[in-house]
Chain A
Amino acid sequence: MLNDNQTVPLLETVELRKLFKLKGGSNLHAVDGINMKIYAGKTLGVVGESGCGKSTLGRTILKLLEPTSGQILFEGNDITKYSVSKMRPVRKDMQIIFQDPYSCIDPRKSVIEIISEYMFIHKLYKSRVETFNKAAGLMDMVGLARRYANSYPHELDGGRRQRIGIARALSLNPKFIVCDEPVSALDVSVQAQNLNLLMDIQDELGLAYMFVTHDLSVVKHISDDIMVMYLGKCVERATSDELFANPQHPYTKALLAAIPKPDIRMRNKEFQLIKGEVSSPVNVKPGCRFASRCDYAVPECSQRDPDFVETSPEHFVACYIVNGR
């Protein structure tokens, strides 16, 4: 899917790093040297457990957090050092949808005001009426009945509130949206409705998504490519089909095996457990971050960072074992 190397990716990061300074001078390595490319109209799924830096990555790309080092290229332009005012026009093209349908919208604004907010900021339309008309059009698009226009967020359920967030993100006609766990706070049936909506919108508007989630089964449906993160590092990247058909990194395998399958025929099969818990991202030592939990770890794993090697076309893995050292 990424074979067409001639085209410039819509978004690219080069060795992107985000460290948080903690009291006492130590550093928290939230995002630690991420290289990724997202092409127009495609979806990159970013998967990992809590604390792996996936949400920080999404916010750093949008420059909601200042990157520590590395580069962010949007449509070929290096936006890493852009000032707040220089970012403003770029913000129209890159948007974000949040995880928490409760805190992502201002409880004191009505639905139509929330959806119109960005259009007012950028003065996209001449009059208030015109802006509200556009907002109403967006409500139709995300499947929110217009009678909710004057409602306040607390009158709506989580799924509908999430749709307000989606409509707001779409209001500036962006080319790229970071979806930060957009469905994980929702019930399965509503989750499925909203996933379908996001896919329909993508088909219609040709958007690119970076879909951040902890849920592999959700990401499979929506992504063209998937990147698996562990403690700020990317451990494996491949096309969606390839990753599920042929997972290589021990962590990816463990992640897949840990999902409880809704099938009782597999019931007596034990979960393939990985031992221990995610170690601290503070002042990390060199070496594979997963080594302490990995069943296959060899001494080399905790000495030097493994290289990110292309094991088969468009399938990259950072593991000494898989890559034969």
Chain B
Amino acid sequence: MNPQKVESTTVDNFKRPSQTKEIWRRFSKSKGAVIGFVLFSIIAIMLLAADFIVPYEAAIKQDFTQQLAAPSREHFFGTDGYGRDAFARLLHGGRTSLSIALLATFSSAVLGSALGAISGYFGGKVDSFIMRSLDIFMSVPDILFTMAVVYALGANFTNLLFALTLAYFTNYVRLVRSQVLNLAEQDYVEAARAGGSGSTRIILSHIIPNAVGVIIVNTTLNVAKIILYESTLSFLGLGMPPPQPEWGLMLSEAREFMRTAPWLMFFPSAAIVITAASINLMGDGLRDALDPHLKS
């Protein structure tokens, strides 16, 4: 066991596969994750290529001769109460719905996790300040709060995004804070400080990666929630201004015709469920892929 100094060595024997490649390899081993990924890719491609599949015109053009038509060759998913093509509305509406949902989820996750990490890591006065402010924030019901924001600022894409972010970031703060409180106790955090790491570096390179599992799970669950939340807003007349299509709006409009034209309710619901499920599956796979314990 004589310690020996080895000054010049090659790095060949520990050239590791790149982090991204490694994560992808583990991700692709999980069946659920791959199914989710494929489903989501199909949805994403269809939504991105919506203009080539069916023109936006078809989604807003009212045709009162074709009200509430059943699914047919002409109208794959039938038509709504104004005679608009439901398939076109679904595709074009998905673009708005999904991009709002994804962006709002992302921004609320980033904002909430950052605040949670800061709160948990620094503790003391910083923690008290953040958490008490959050209490005030949470004492106002979500829906009331969002309504107030949208009402005050007007209903458009940016304001909706803003309102949804504010409505959803709070649970990340609590979740991440409790994780961080636990992680900050670990010796490796102290070891990083002993090595000269600053707080930012510790949070970014040790705390967040170890808390990423819960963040991802929460994030994927939130996408579906936000899509449904949008529908609530649309129902209250605070969603995207008509005639712009949107999944939530389609659902609330279809409610009227639930008995006479159930397909109007079925297709947007199915779209939301499939999208949410594919994102959840991907999220689970990603969480596992990021965890080296499950490497093999």
Contacts and interface: CB of A to CB of B under 8 A. Distances in A.
B210 A98 contact: no
B7 A137 contact: yes
A39 B100 CA distance: 64
Interface in B161-212: 186-188, 190-198, 201, 206, 209-210
Contacts of A140: 3-6
Given A107-B210, A108-B210, A165-B191, A137 B6 contact: yes
Interface string A176-204: 00000000000000000100110011001
Interface in A61-114: 62, 64, 84, 87-88, 91-92, 95-96, 98-100, 103-108, 110, 112
Given A140-B4, A150-B16, A121 B197 contact: yes
Nearest to A59: B190
A62 B196 CA distance: 11
A137 B5 contact: yes
A110 B16 contact: yes
A110 B209 CA distance: 13
A64 B188 CA distance: 13
Given A98-B187, A107-B293, A197 B1 contact: yes
A100 B186 CA distance: 10
B184 to A, nearest CB: 11
B133 interface: no
Contacts of A149: 13-14, 16
A96 B1 contact: no
Interface string B267-295: 00000000000000000000000111101
B3 A141 contact: yes
Interface centre among B2, B190, B206 (most CB of A within 10 A): B190
B8 interface: yes
B287 to A, nearest CB: 12
B136 interface: no
A269 interface: no
B9 interface: yes
A133 interface: yes
A212 B295 CA distance: 36
A136 B210 contact: no
A172 B187 contact: no
A41 to B, nearest CB: 16
A200 B5 CA distance: 13
Given A64-B193, A105-B191, A108-B210, A141 B5 contact: yes
A54 interface: no
A108 B198 contact: no
Given A103-B186, A110-B16, A196 B1 contact: yes
Given A64-B190, A98-B187, A132 B11 contact: yes
Which size class do A's interface residues fall under? 35 or more
Contact of B2 (A59, A84, A110, A200): A200
Interface residues of B, number: 34
Interface in A137-171: 137, 140-143, 146-147, 149-150, 152, 154, 165, 168
Nearest to B190: A64
B11 A129 contact: yes
A131 B225 CA distance: 46
A221 interface: no
Contacts of A107: 210, 292-293
A108 B288 CA distance: 12
B188 A132 contact: no
B293 A152 contact: yes
A106 B4 contact: no
A308 interface: no
Contacts of A62: 194
Contacts of A95: 194-195
A153 B209 CA distance: 15
Given A103-B186, A107-B292, A108-B209, A136 B11 contact: yes
Contact of A133 (B2, B11, B293): B11
A117 interface: yes
A136 B295 CA distance: 23
A157 to B, nearest CB: 15
A20 interface: no
Contacts of B4: 140-141
Given A108-B292, A117-B192, A200 B9 contact: no
Nearest to B206: A106
Interface in B201-236: 201, 206, 209-210
19 contacts: A62-B194, A64-B194, A84-B198, A91-B195, A95-B195, A107-B292, A108-B209, A110-B292, A117-B197, A132-B11, A136-B6, A137-B5, A141-B4, A146-B14, A150-B14, A152-B293, A154-B292, A168-B195, A197-B3
Interface of B: 1-9, 11, 13-14, 16, 186-188, 190-198, 201, 206, 209-210, 290-293, 295
Given A117-B192, A140-B5, 4 more contacts: A64-B193, A106-B209, A122-B196, A132-B14
Nearest 7 pairs between A and B by C-beta?
A: A149-B14, A118-B195, A152-B292, A104-B187, A91-B196, A98-B187, A103-B187
Interface of A: 59, 62, 64, 84, 87-88, 91-92, 95-96, 98-100, 103-108, 110, 112, 117-118, 121-122, 129, 132-133, 136-137, 140-143, 146-147, 149-150, 152, 154, 165, 168, 172, 193, 196-197, 200-201, 204
